[in-house]
Every structure is written in structure tokens, then in C-alpha cells.
Structure 1
């Protein structure tokens, strides 16, 4: 028999490869990418990741890992915030800063907080999942538009494409806009023809799909302050490994999420200059209007707490405490 110290564990990793090579946050999962290489080095080859692109549709990835059809996967959770047992909180306005450069650091601090991770890990265990690490994306809280947004009244009647699914649409609706469902490939043409008046998405992604060519303004809003994928492992698979391999995997996860945070922050900062050169004007709501907007979108947090129950309330307190500690340290 092969001893536990000599056994090689091969894990099938279902990569949600739907974004292409434009986004570094997704490319860490690619074959021979950072995740695969770092796991190989940290475990001396005792854990081998078999990366399978588009092994399952996005909406089936969580169930596929929980039931053992795959051993691990990256989950694009903003679409399903609060509806799955991950208790994804990033869609809730006013927890992290509206400035993505600040928000990314604050969000990372949340996922490095022991209390937050204790709550998440306990909840995930109930569905046979183990949290591994997060990959942070450029927050999708900016509104690309032809018309300048100066007040909360400017959102009224606006036809808006909203990233973030149900909760994002709920917030936009409460600000007076109507949500319009359009595929990513059709967003720029839809803006050009007037099918939509605005597109709520990230700076870098919006630029990459041509929104800068059909927009004059990019305005930060309280909606969708984070956009993050969870990386999870089948709990039984994880528990079957010896303690040294478990620690090695978790250490790699911590390194990866810090690395991706820095990379995404750098990408965002570089995007600022690129978008400015395109002629698009970046704006924020004036303080008084921002305050009004935050009042309007409180409904998102209220609905999230109702959907997640007592576990959500406990998690939200731990998250706010973690962000406060991070800000005090800075």
C-alpha cells in the first residue's frame, strides 16, 4: 500500500472559462497557470490539478463540486449572491468603498479575517464544500452612459443593463431605473441604438467591449461594489488528504488571492488612464446625492438579510468589523 506521505492526489478542477484571456483574475486558473504551478511546487507534486475548461455550465459548478463530479472549481457568485449557501455578500452597497482601488483592499481584508472565514467555512461544510480562495475582479459599480449623471433624479426612467443579477437589478430599480437584460456582446450596439441608456459594469471590462466608443461618462454608483469568484474544493476530497497537504493548499490559496488583488488593483489604475485618453469623463455623485442613493439602495441589504436569515446577520457583522479594522490600520 502507498503511504499517505507518498500518495499522489489528482483533482479535477472545473474551470469556469467564460471570460477569455482579457482578465488576469480568471487566467490564474488556466492550465500551467499560477494556481496549478504553485500547487505543484507547494506539495512537491503530491497534488496534481487537472484543469478542465467549461467542464460544467456556470450555474452547475457549485453543485458539481458538492456532489463530487468535480473536485474543485471557481464560482462566479455575483449572479447568485445570497441564493446559494456561500452567503456571498459582495453585492451589498456601502460595506466597502465606492472607489475600486480602495474597495479591493478592504474586501481582501474580509477574506483574511478569521471570524468571517469561520462562519463561511461552517456554512460551506453543510453542503460538502471547503472554501479555498477568492479571485477579485474589477468592481462592476460604474455606469457607462451618454448623458451625465449628477443627481439621483437622473436615474429615473433610465433603461439600464445591470451586472449582478437579482440584487443588482433590485438596487437599480429602487433608484428609479428599469433593468434591461442584454448579452455582453450586444451592450455597445445597444447603447449606440438607444436600446439602453446606461450599462452598469466595470471600467476595464466596459472598455474592452467597446463602451468607451459609445459613452461620454462613467459614473461610480453604490451598486455592485465588488465582483468576486469563490474557489472551492469538495469537502470529502479535502478531508481525505493528510494535514501537511491541506495546509499547503490553504497557504497557496492565501498567496493567490493576495496576488490577484494586487493585479486587479493595478489593472484598474491603468484602466483609468486608458479610459481618460478615450475621452470618457469619470464622475462620482456629489456627497449629498450619494447619500440619497445609499438610502435608495438599502433595500438590497434588507432583502439579502431576509434571504440569508440569522447566518447572514452574523456574517454581515463580522464583515463590517473586518472592514473597520482594516481602515483603522490604514
Structure 2
């Protein structure tokens, strides 16, 4: 080959490679643009397991994008009040929130099904319904009407049934009880005689201490111990039949989410999935120790009687029938959850709960 011709061709190839490299850099930059979002949480930093999910998401996204996608996480009240987080996202005040759907049932009762409804799904079923049962698609179809998009980003597991200043032995003991409990659970409790009270989290302890309220529900042993409820209410009931496995969501402004590059959407999706799993794991790891501490402080553990649970279950089914007849959004989500729950419990009782029941008996017998 003619040497002059060879070097001419080689030079052309080199120029082509250089041109490709020059074109590649802006393409990569375009795929990883500098974006800064703000996230408002509905939770204070003192509830560290829940609040940390927001900072975990922000950290994961930042690391995955080499710092190009930055999310600033703000605690409840630092940007907007805790129960206005989703409103701020929809309005574009912030791009993202870490909150619970059921805080917004005043807009539509169907919001409750995004978090938990009384006698609904447990944590494992909730995650399965959202991930593999079509739940996430159904919820986001509903949320689109509010300019929102959501991904599961936390679950506390089954919660406790709350703190009471007196024993609750029968359904009649609930009549006239002033209890801090809101949402559909409050509506159902009112049907069995409870007077629901909506009180901000920071005001619950003094209200219980002064007797302004007779009872309160919150989360579970880890958070409840930190909040000191055992100092002003002796009886700790279980389970919270109103929250068998409540989901905490990352909510995004729908337009802002859709504008993201596909790789950033994937980063967010993966970060939320990791935060979702991590929150439940941390509560599972922390609640047992906290429960022992509470009992050591004199807390009296009590289980709701079957009669109380049956009366509340009946009231819940009546409520859902009424809502389904009047609200198509609610009915669509509720019917999906009900169908999923029936199959899930059919399978769970065969193997999973059969195994768990046996092992729990061994734990009680001290033979683990």
C-alpha cells in the first residue's frame, strides 16, 4: 500500500474518532444533566427510621448520578406543614415529597388505599400488590388526576393499637372514648362509639397527659418509646387493625417526573425500592428491643378481644360498601386489593404462617 495513502486514511480515521469523542461528551452530559430537586417530608427528624428513608433516597440518587442529580430533603414544617406535602408537590412548590397517601382522604377517600385501610393488607402483601399485583399502576392512574406520581418508599409493618388510660375489655369500653385517630380508621371507630380527635403529633403527649384525650394511636414500640407515651398511659393494645402494613410513598410532581431522563427515573425507582425494603427491615430489627424496654417501664400489653375486632370489622365492611357505591375511584382500588388479599391469605396460611406459627410456639416454649 502507498505510504502516503495509508497515512491519509489513518488520519481520516483519527479525525473521525476525535469527532465521535467530541460528539459523545455532550450526549453523555445530556443524559446526566445537573438537576436539583427539593423534597419535603411529612415526618420530623426525631422519627428517624421514617425520616431517614427520604435522605436515603437522596443519597442513593446522588451517588448513582455522580452528584448530577441532587435532592435536598427537608423535615416536616421546614418548607410546608406535614399534611400539605402532596399539595406542595402538585403545585410545583417542591418537586417531591415523602408522605402517606391517606393524609389526603379529604380530597378523595380513595387516597386511603395507597397507604392502608382498616383490615386491609399486611406489609408483605402490600409490597406484593404494588409491585406485582397491579397496585402501583392503579394508584398512579388515580393520582394523575392530582398531577402526582408515586412510588412505595417505606413500610412500618403492622402497627400497635395504641395507648389507653384505661383497660378496654369490651366494645362498650370504647363508647365515649376520646381518641387521637384520623382518616377511615377514625370514621370506623366512631361507629363503635369512639370520638375521634385529630391532633398534631407534637400535641399528643400533653393531651394524653392532661386527659384531654383518653387514648392515642401512633406507630409501634420503637417510635412510641421515644415519644414517651408509656409515661402517661399504662395500657398498650395490639394490633392496629387499621394499619396492617402501611406504605409511605415518595410522591413526585407528574410533569417534573416525566421530564427526567430515563436513567434518572430508573435511579429514583431503584432508590425508592431500596428505601422501602430498608424501612421495614429497620422497624423489624428495632421494635422487639423497644417492646422489652416498654414492658420494663411498667407498660401493660393487652390484645383487643375477638368481640372488639369483630365489631370493628363489621363497621369497616359497611363503610367500604357505602364508599364503593358512591365513589368509583375507591371501588376500583378497593376491589383490586380485596381480590389480591383473598388469594394472598389462601397461600400464606398454607406454608408461611404454618411455619411461623410453629416457630412462635417454640419461641414461647424456649426451644428455639
TM-score (norm 2): 0.76
Look up the match of 2:98. Answer: 74
Equivalents in 2 of 1:17, 1:128: separation in Å?
19
Q: Give yes or no for contact 1:91–1:224 (8 Å, CA) kept in 2.
A: yes
SS of the counterpart of 1:201?
coil
Shift of the 85–113 alpha-carbon distance from structure 1 to 2, 3 Å rule, reads: farther
CA shift, 1:122, in A, is 1.8
Q: Give yes or no for contact 2:102–2:111 (8 Å, CA) kept in 1.
A: no
Shift of the 155–315 alpha-carbon distance from structure 1 to 2, 3 Å rule, reads: same
CA shift, 1:188, in A, is 3.4
Look up the match of 1:117. Answer: 136
Shift of the 82–109 alpha-carbon distance from structure 1 to 2, 3 Å rule, reads: farther
Q: Give yes or no for contact 1:160–1:177 (8 Å, CA) kept in 2.
A: yes
Shift of the 55–219 alpha-carbon distance from structure 1 to 2, 3 Å rule, reads: same
SS of the counterpart of 1:167?
helix
Q: Give yes or no for contact 2:168–2:174 (8 Å, CA) kept in 1.
A: yes
SS of the counterpart of 1:121?
helix
Equivalents in 2 of 1:166, 1:133: separation in Å?
20
Shift of the 304–82 alpha-carbon distance from structure 1 to 2, 3 Å rule, reads: farther
Matched, 1:184 2:208: no
Equivalents in 2 of 1:138, 1:19: separation in Å?
19
Look up the match of 2:89. Answer: 65
State the superposition RMSD in angstroms.
2.8
Look up the match of 2:228. Answer: 210
Matched, 1:320 2:338: yes
Look up the match of 1:146. Answer: 165
CA shift, 1:23, in A, is 2.8
Q: Give yes or no for contact 2:152–2:276 (8 Å, CA) kept in 1.
A: yes
Shift of the 238–86 alpha-carbon distance from structure 1 to 2, 3 Å rule, reads: farther
Bigger fraction of residues in helix: 2
SS of the counterpart of 1:51?
strand
Equivalents in 1 of 2:208, 2:260: separation in Å?
51
Q: Give yes or no for contact 2:83–2:103 (8 Å, CA) kept in 1.
A: no
Larger Rg: 2
User: Number of residue pairs matched?
Assistant: 318
SS of the counterpart of 1:92?
coil
Look up the match of 1:296. Answer: 315
Look up the match of 2:125. Answer: 106
- Of 41, 47, 70, the match for 2:63: 41
Equivalents in 2 of 1:207, 1:279: separation in Å?
12
Shift of the 80–121 alpha-carbon distance from structure 1 to 2, 3 Å rule, reads: closer
Equivalents in 2 of 1:238, 1:86: separation in Å?
22
- Of 257, 269, 277, the match for 1:250: 269
Matched, 1:219 2:237: yes
Equivalents in 1 of 2:71, 2:187: separation in Å?
39
